[in-house]
Amino acid sequence: MVDIPPLMIDSAGRFREDYGNIEDLADSIREKGLIQPITVQQTGDQSYKLVAGGRRLAAAVTLGMDSIPAVIREVEDEADYREIELFENVFRKNLTWQEEARLECEIYRLRGKSYRELADELDTTKSRLAMSVQLGEALKTLPDLAKKTTFDDAWKAYSAISEQLVVNELAKRAKVEETLSEAPPPVQPPGSPVESADMAAEGPQEVGGWQLAEPKPVGPKAAADAYLLQDALEGLEACSTYNFDFAEVDPPYGIDLKRAKHGGEGKGAEREAYVEVPSEDYGDFLYELATNVYACLKDDSFAVFWFAHQWYEVLLKTLKQAGFSAGPVPAIWAKPHGQTKQPDVNFASCYEPFFLARKGKPKLPKPGRSNIFNFEPTAPSSKIHLTQRPLPLMQELLDTCCLPGSKLLIPFLGSGNTLRAAWSRGMAGVGFDLDKTIRNKFLLQVKEDLEKDRYAYTTKYSTRSPTELVDR
């Protein structure tokens, strides 16, 4: 073993040309030092030829190291030299995903640092490290996970098991709530929040098989009742006799969104759950949708309609035909990063447009707000729906357009984030979608929200306790 200046080592003539990301390896060597020395052949008093360790040598040069530890090896001939280069790369075995998950789980336990801090040290992402640690723990009690071929397959299996366990628990709780709800309700004192005009429905109303009746605290059963497994247009027709204060409408876009995402965003199940409307039927679909939404709204109320760029003129015309007023300039959700399948010839698309439509002459609670909403998108690893929008964006949208106590109509619920935003702002809501799996994942998020008290009224809106927050 000797220490040799990197510039005295000849690495020319090797068959391996692509050394990958040398910067990451250099960072690792800078932090931990060189764990494994390189191998060289001595060709003169002060000259050496590289035998094994091309990436390590390149990283040492990048770091400007004065010397690098090396093992001097006798090489018989050119064939022996080439065989060593081949064996170094072909017979090297990386850690399996199971070994890597267990190892990262143990490092996380020993270090006692946050995911963010440790992810920076291990040169990975926070979400990937969190998933790996969870799998490492799960392998202790769910040995069948180790039979999965890849990390992604194991994570999907683990997620399905976890979700089903919690959904089963939610179903049990919902049964208990339903049993308890059969008991006579407690007497409310005059002027209590439940009796206030802005929060209570005016008596039971049967609407298409579901009831908008007495307000209930947000819980597993109430959340499930608000997320209705029903076709949006059928649901809208059924509830046209009930007047809502606001509608957030995020319909299919009349494009092949699954192909447009080219598999790069959203997990397979979420892509399959997304149902599109054929472009040849899209104009008629928009008209039926807009007229039904208009019929469900109170006078002097707002609605938001998301759309794809190619349907700008059609949607604007359709909104006016349905009775809405809408300006020609749409509002924009602006993202810090964009996407394009042709980066050499196209800009990356960094925004999504929507119209603010008016029925009658409503007034915004936030007058004069900019029509640009700057918010980070939901991380792909956290998405439960292909077109999921971030919760902070929906909260800001509701703050801008609605008063506390408003009743929201959400024809295309998707991830359910608009409902979650409504409850966090002291509003009620109901909506429709067709995928039971997505709804179950939404219920899991509601459970987490309840555990973290995210539905408590803030002092900005009210001093009421979270148990007084109601939905219909």
Asked which of 47-51, 161-165, 395-399, 435-439 is least confident by mean pLDDT, the reply is: 161-165
Instruction: Answer whether residue 268 shows pLDDT above 60.
Output: no
pLDDT over threshold 60, residue 130? yes
The answer to whether the beta carbons of residues 139 and 146 sit under 8 Å apart is yes
Neighbour tally for 291: CB within 10 Å: 18
pLDDT in tens, 319-355: 999 999 999 999 999 999 887 777 778 898 899 999 9
Instruction: Count how many residues are written for the chain.
Output: 472
pLDDT at 256: 52
Model confidence at 67: pLDDT above 60: yes
Phi/psi of residue 267, nearest 5 degrees = -80, 165
**Dihedral sign (CA 98, 101, 103, 109):** negative
Question: Confidence band (pLDDT; 50, 70, 90) for 259?
Answer: very low
- What is the domain partition of the chain in residue ranges? 2-90, 97-157, 191-471
| Ramachandran area for residue 426 (φ above 0: left; ψ -120 to 50: alpha; else beta) | left
Range 97-114 average pLDDT: 86
Question: pLDDT by residue (tens digit) across 277-332?
Answer: 888 889 999 999 999 999 999 999 999 999 999 999 999 999 999 999 999 999 99
pLDDT at 21: 67
- Closest to 357 (Cα-Cα) out of 390, 320, 388, 394: 320
Instruction: Decide if pLDDT at 50 tops 90.
Output: no
Percent of the residues in the chain that have a pLDDT greater than 70, as a whole number? 75
pTM: 0.56
Average pLDDT for residues 454-461, to the nearest whole number?
Answer: 49
What helix, strand, coil percent values describe the chain, rounded to 5? 45, 20, 35
How many Å is the maximal CA-CA distance in the chain?
99
Place of tokens 């690792």: 28
| Measured distance CA(307)–CA(261) in Å, rounded | 16
Question: Looking at residue 304, what is its pLDDT?
Answer: 98
Answer for the pair 60, 97: CB distance below 8 angstroms, yes or no.
no
Contact between residue 63 and residue 33 where contact means Cβ atoms under 8 Å apart? no
How many whole angstroms separate alpha carbon 186 and alpha carbon 189?
10
Give the whole-angstrom CA distance, residue 255 versus residue 45. Answer: 69
For residue 429, CA distances in Å to 264, 341, 378 come to 32, 37, 22
Asked if CATH classification 3.90.1530.30 holds for the domain at 2-90, the reply, yes or no, is yes
pLDDT at residue number 318? 96
Confidence of residue 166 (pLDDT cuts 50, 70, 90): low
191-471 carries CATH number 3.40.50.150: yes
What mean pLDDT is predicted for residues 130-158?
A: 89
Query: For residue 29, what pLDDT is reported?
Result: 80
Q: What is the Cα–Cα distance from 135 to 100, expressed in whole angstroms?
A: 10
What is the structure's pLDDT at 85?
Answer: 64
Kindly provide the b/e burial profile for residues 443-455, where b requires at least 16 CB atoms within 10 angstroms of the residue's own CB.
bbbbbebbeeebb
User: How far apart, in Å, are the Cα atoms of 466 and each of 84, 358, 417, 457, 459?
Assistant: 68, 32, 18, 6, 12
Mean pLDDT of the chain: 78
Looking at residue 180, what is its pLDDT? 44
In angstroms, the CA 400 to CA 398 distance is 5
Question: Which stretch of 11-20, 90-99, 349-358 has the lowest confidence by average pLDDT?
Answer: 11-20
Q: What is the pLDDT of residue 189?
A: 38
pLDDT digits (tens, 9 = 90+) for 180-233: 444 444 433 333 333 333 333 333 344 444 444 333 456 667 788 889 998 999
**b (16+ CB within 10 A) / e for 33-67:** ebeebbbbbbeeeeebbbbbbbebbbbbbbbebee
